[in-house]
Structure 1
Amino acid sequence: MALASSAETRPLFLACQIAFWLTPQSSPSFASDPALAIAASISFRVLVMKEIENTLACEYQHECLSDNRVGSVIDNRVIANPMSGNEIRQRREALGLTQEQLAQRAGTNQQTLHRIETGETKHSRAIPRILKALEDAGSPTPPAVQVANDPEIFARATGIGGDVPVYAAAEGGPGEMVVEKSPIDYAPRPEPLQGVKDGYLVYISGESMSPEYRPGQRAIVHPKLPPTPDETHIFYTNNPADDRATIKHLVRVTPEAWHVEQWNPPKKFTLDRSEWPVAHRVVGKYARR
């Protein structure tokens, strides 16, 4: 029995099928065997329901495939798509994507996308993913992603990239120096400060740490490392109005004091941690210009 081929003939076709199958048939075996008649009646109804379902499904598929729009197959059903192949191509080009780029985002290949855009393929399982990829590509980039993708913005926002500030220093009291609060210059970020927030350079003033650190050299300072014995540090006061600092070699640490030493003249002494609470480790130096 042929299936219906259009929306106009489908109702009449189904009515004829139902009438045929539900009309009592003259059969000696049915009359002589009631059980067989009941079974046959149930089978007829099952067949009717399956034929109705199959007919509707085929008719639905026929209507979708005869449309000029792109369709996609989902769970073996043909679903009409709101975008034609040409519209998909226009949208892709407006987003500045190549066929290869969009296909990669959609988890398909360039050949499949090309056939969809040119109309060679009217239905494909890849179309829902292609439309989702177009939607995602058209969404505005979140600010956090913009920061991560732009090195200059990332450096300014996080302080862990780009050039580092350079601070001037003048000789203060014995073994001390006065560090400017505002940078006088910026220098390319040295390797020890890669990815380090708030790293900086400071000009050495005074001879107390010569010959290891001479006046005019720039110390590379990593402020995030913990104070460590047998390393050189720059110590700061906690008074915002006090610009004093001192660069010394740390010998050991106690709760009350930094035990330090200097090279010129050789001397060991302590710095009261209540007066000098901040210790920034020196991780390198630049030679004098």
Structure 2
Amino acid sequence: MSSAPEILKERIQAKLAELNVTAREISMGALNQPDAIRNIVRKGHMPAIDRLDAIAAELGTTTEWLLGRENAIERTISNEDAVRDDTFRQLPKTLPVYGSALGADLDFPDEGGIIVLVEQTEINMTAASIDYMARPIGVTGRPDLYVVTVSGHSMEPRWDSGRRVLVDPRRSPGVGDDVIVQLRGPTFDGEEIRHVLIKQLVRRKPGGVVLRQFNPDHTFTVPNEQVAAVHRVMPWDEALGF
């Protein structure tokens, strides 16, 4: 018997939480067997396609979606229905949250060549996460996503200090997107990343990345040799499927 893929387990659990039903209820409704879903999620058993079709139908979705072959975000809660708090508490807590602290200001040139002070955040991306939070159903099957806590006030009123932002390292950010710019170590030799900039992407240009912070309002350039990666901040409503 083949093993059930992780995305199947995650999406089944997410649909159970969204519908506020138990695995036993869906198993009985679909196959008249109490442990059908438990065998998938807990034991990793891959069901036959006809059995998975029955489970998908009982969950109000499709086998293709449960297996990650459809990109459409499934929602069975109507817009008129209030989402219960315990629904979110039941979602799998698999999104890693990395701790942060306000770092020393950095010097970067603005568009007129004048040096301005830019607020940075200290974080060790290679260390174990300090917490995990519930993974919205719209981003099941995305183990690369991570969460960073905003430190400082340079992005207010856009992002308040203490706000958690969801980061998508796969999709390239566009102009106007908020971004996490991972900086290299001070010797630029590929050391583990310890500092990030949480800013807005203005544009890319030869030799650097142009960013904006809001408090105080500065547009400045970070040289390419100091940039390890630029990751897009994913809006929470996108992750939730709204």
TM-score (norm 1): 0.44
Q: Distance in 2 between matches of 1:243 and 1:259?
A: 21
Match status 1:209 vs 2:209: no
Check 1:283–1:150 CA distance in 2 against 1; reply closer, same or farther (3 A cut): closer
Find the counterpart in structure 2 of residue 77 from structure 1: none
Find the counterpart in structure 1 of residue 227 from structure 2: 276
Query: Which one has more relative contact order, counting CA pairs under 8 Å at least 6 apart?
Result: 2
Match status 1:249 vs 2:214: no
Contact 2:97 2:147 in 1 (8 A): yes
Check 1:192–1:220 CA distance in 2 against 1; reply closer, same or farther (3 A cut): farther
Find the counterpart in structure 1 of residue 174 from structure 2: 228
Q: Distance in 2 between matches of 1:260 and 1:207?
A: 16
CA apart distance, 1:285: 5.4
Find the counterpart in structure 1 of residue 216 from structure 2: 265
Match status 1:219 vs 2:165: yes
Counterpart residue identity of residue 272, structure 1: P
- Counting only pairs closer than 5 Å after superposition, residues 38-187 of structure 1 correspond to structure 2 as 141-143=1-3, 145=4, 150-151=9-10, 162=92, 163-174=94-105, 175-180=119-124, 181-187=127-133
Counterpart residue identity of residue 166, structure 1: V
Counterpart residue identity of residue 226, structure 2: E
Find the counterpart in structure 2 of residue 240 from structure 1: 191
Check 1:285–1:171 CA distance in 2 against 1; reply closer, same or farther (3 A cut): farther
Check 1:246–1:264 CA distance in 2 against 1; reply closer, same or farther (3 A cut): same
Q: Percent identity over the alignment?
A: 28
Contact 1:147 1:154 in 2 (8 A): no
CA apart distance, 1:201: 1.1
Contact 1:148 1:154 in 2 (8 A): no
SS at match of 1:281: strand
Find the counterpart in structure 1 of residue 55 from structure 2: none
1:195 is aligned, of 130, 136, 141, to: 141
Check 1:242–1:261 CA distance in 2 against 1; reply closer, same or farther (3 A cut): same
- Which structure's residues are more often helix, by fraction? 1
Check 1:269–1:153 CA distance in 2 against 1; reply closer, same or farther (3 A cut): farther
Q: Distance in 2 between matches of 1:154 and 1:282?
A: 35
> How many residue pairs were aligned?
141
Unaligned ranges ≥5, structure 2: 11-40, 45-67, 69-90, 106-118, 185-189, 238-242
RMSD of aligned residue pairs (Cα, Å): 2.8
Which has more radius of gyration?
A: 1
- Which structure's residues are more often strand, by fraction? 2
CA apart distance, 1:224: 0.8
